[in-house]
Amino acid sequence: MTSRVVVGYDGSDASRDAVQWAAGEALARDGELIILAAMTVPMSASPMSFGVLSPNAIDDMIARVGNHVEDEAEALMSAHPGLIARGKAVMGGAAGALVDASEDADLLVVGSRGMGGFKGLLVGSVGVQVAEHARCPAVVVRGLPTAEASRVIVGIDGSELSLAAAKFAMETASRRGWSVLAVHAWDVPAYDALASPVGPSELELDNLLESERIATSESLAGLRERFPDVDLTVEVSKGPSARVLLEAAEGAALIVLGTRGRGEFSGALLGSVSQAVLHRAELPVAVIGGGP
């Protein structure tokens, strides 16, 4: 079955970056790229307004937008020989249309902020909703990496979703000929202030660090065997997870993480780490595990 990559497009610079990134991923997958444009009926079409758009006018609007995204698809195929792309226009809100499209997609891609997003927002509401609710892996393009970037950063904390993120990272790296850096961030555990008023000793911290490194490496052993062509490195660092991941991602091609980590509330769709990375990264961020 042909892999299907769906990318949201609204004419904004961010969506154009998303389309460019998605085209590269579709080529790497030997898959099909669908450029999806969603639109809502203008306010003048409301029965409460002074003017009402006729069904024919709405159909004409959909046709015009559809022709535009088809032209975008044609231009992409001309620029990228071997790419299969097509445009599609639908009625509805952008987030809902993209989440619906994720039902039959292998990857969903969206820009960090669309035409309607406030410039002060680092990630628009559509990007956040897509990351939360997509039924397949979702990538929010927070800026295009350099052409030389060839490393995937994946956050690992031992949770099921982080291991799913590691699998996605290894698959992506294998297709692209990239390397993977698996980052596990940890902090000093709670201790009894009465029994140890100065906190853990340096030796205890060194032992904890080594234990975390061994546990992380063991959790990835199966993926090493499955993807022998991928250069996988494990880094265990002390500090807040989001900060450690963002520092490690300098010059990288992609960040991958689960929607929630081991310590997050199960009711939260996006955990604090994934939200922080989405809002502060300057490269594409893949979020794994959204949706029911």
**What structural domains does the chain harbor?**
4-141 (3.40.50.620), 151-288 (3.40.50.12370)
pLDDT, averaged across the chain: 83
Q: What is the pTM of this model?
A: 0.84
The pLDDT of residue 266: 46
The pLDDT of residue 52: 55
* Listed residue (119, 121, 117, 136) closest to 7, CA to CA: 136
| 23-43 mean pLDDT | 89
| 252-269 mean pLDDT | 70
Looking at this protein, which amino acid is placed at residue 39?
A: M
Position 49 pLDDT exceeds 90: no
Q: Which residues of 146-181 are buried (b: 16+ CB within 10 A; e: fewer)?
A: eeebbbbbbbbbebebbbbbbbbbbbbbbebebebb
Residue indicated by tokens 């959204």: 290
Residue 19 near residue 7 (C-beta atoms within 8 A): yes
Nearest-5° angle of CA 227, CA 233, CA 234?
115
Position 156 pLDDT exceeds 70: yes
Residue 33 near residue 3 (C-beta atoms within 8 A): no
Give the integer Cα–Cα distance in Å for 90 and 176: 32
Position 291 pLDDT exceeds 80: no
The pLDDT of residue 48: 44
The pLDDT of residue 58: 75
